[in-house]
Amino acid sequence: MSQRPSQDIAIITGAASGIGYSTARYFAARGARVVGVDLSERVVELMSELPGGAHLGIARDLTDPTAADRVIAQAVAFAGTPTILVNSAGVALLDRAVDVTPDRWQTTLDVNLSATFYMSQAAGRVMLGAGYGRIINLASQAAVIGLDEHAAYAASKAAIVGLTRVLSKEWAPSGVTVNAISPTVVETPLGKVAWAGEKGERAKAEIPVGRFAQPEEIASLIGYLASADAAMITGTNVLVDGGRTGV
């Protein structure tokens, strides 16, 4: 089985904003080469501005089943075999269950679940060949508890937790760990808008620590799960919710 390479090569989806961007900055600041992937063309500029240089931004629609293989091939050609994959790209289209349209249901599953699977599968193939890898999938507290207007979102995130467990079982013998992280509301730019005002204050009141999570806190946990120190952690779903799911 191969040893951990001297330099990490981290592929991060949803890298143009929120948790994905914070995670890209986290790894770049610690010497990793970063390949950021996002639907937004802005990812190209943002990755070029990360500390350390030698980073790559790829604008790609990951709901296309053929996109993941092309992204991984481009990343390998640019930097070598990836050691880390962070599946952070996602959407939150919130409706009451009786109002969810087929289009919004399918979009949620395509972006949150299918893209995560395609990227994990494509990255897994090269990581398994190398005998080393760390995959971290972004799930949600909605995978664990019931939340109003989250039918499609919760279904997609609960499926990510199940997928994580299967991949971890299949790939652990080859040196590849797979874990999920389930945050409460995170104060990304989109999160601040979606949970502004009275709605946000009610949500904070349900969290024992009395606040939402910060993107940098999630990035730090991702960094740990991607590290050599976390070699014995795989198949887990780590809750970052200030005690919310224990209430």
Confidence grade of residue 2 (pLDDT, cut at 50, 70, 90): low
User: pLDDT-derived band of residue 151, with 50, 70 and 90 as boundaries?
Assistant: very high
Residue 71, token pair as written in the block: 């992204």
Does 114 reside within a domain? yes
Average pLDDT of the residues in 175-190: 93
Instruction: With respect to residue 210, please indicate whether it lies within any of the assigned structural domains.
Output: no
Beta strands of 49-105 (E only): which ranges? 56-59, 84-87
Question: Which of 21, 118, 153, 224 does the annotation list as catalytic?
Answer: 153
Percent of the chain with pLDDT over 90: 87
At a CB cut-off of 8 Å and minimum separation 6, what does 135 contact?
Answer: 84, 85, 86, 87, 120, 123, 124, 127, 167, 176, 177, 178, 179
pLDDT digits (tens, 9 = 90+) for 204-237: 999 999 999 999 999 999 999 999 999 999 999 9
Q: For 87, which DSSP code? A: E
Identify the burial level of 88 via C-beta atoms within 10 angstroms of its C-beta, where 0-12 means exposed, 13-18 middle and 19 or more buried. buried
CATH value at residue 162? 3.40.50.720
In a domain, 55, yes or no: yes
pLDDT of residue 1: 47
pTM above 0.85, yes or no: yes
Structural domain contains residue 162? yes
Catalytic residue list contains 118: no
- With CA atoms as reference, report the closest residue to 15 among 85, 93, 92: 85
Mean pLDDT estimate for the chain = 95
Structural domain contains residue 157: yes
Average pLDDT score over residue span 4-23: 94
> Could you tell me if 33 and 7 are in contact, meaning their C-beta atoms sit under 8 angstroms apart?
yes
How far apart are the C-alpha atoms of 244 and 204, rounded to whole Å? 9
Please state whether 59 falls in left (phi above 0), alpha (psi between -120 and 50) or beta. Answer: beta
Identify whether the C-beta of residue 47 lies closer than 8 Å to the C-beta of residue 26.
no
Assess whether pLDDT exceeds 90 at residue 190: no
CB atoms within 10 A of CB 70: 13
Amino acid, res. 168: S
- 25 CB neighbour count, 10 Å cutoff: 21
Q: Within a domain: residue 81? A: yes
Task: Using the predicted structure, report yes or no on whether residue 10 has a pLDDT greater than 60.
Answer: yes
- Domain of residue 233: give its range: 9-185+215-241
Number of other residues whose CB lies within 10 A of the CB of residue 48: 13
Instruction: Check whether 135 has a pLDDT greater than 70.
Output: yes
Q: Which helix (H) or strand (E) holds 47?
A: helix 42-48
Task: Report the C-alpha gap between 134 and 139 in whole angstroms.
Answer: 16
Residue 200 lies in a domain: no
pLDDT, residue 53, reads: 82
206 within some domain: no
Say if CB 36 and CB 78 are below 8 A apart: no
- What does the alpha-carbon distance between residue 136 and residue 119 come to, in Å, rounded to a whole number? 11
Q: Number of structural domains, the chain?
A: 1
Task: Identify the three-state secondary structure at position 191.
Answer: helix
* C-beta separation of 185 from 191 below 8 A: yes
Please write the tens of the pLDDT for every residue from 61-87: 999 999 999 999 999 999 999 999 999
Q: Which of 142-156, 184-198, 211-225 has the lowest mean pLDDT?
A: 184-198
C-beta separation of 10 from 75 below 8 A? no
Query: Is 70 exceeded by the pLDDT of residue 247?
Result: no
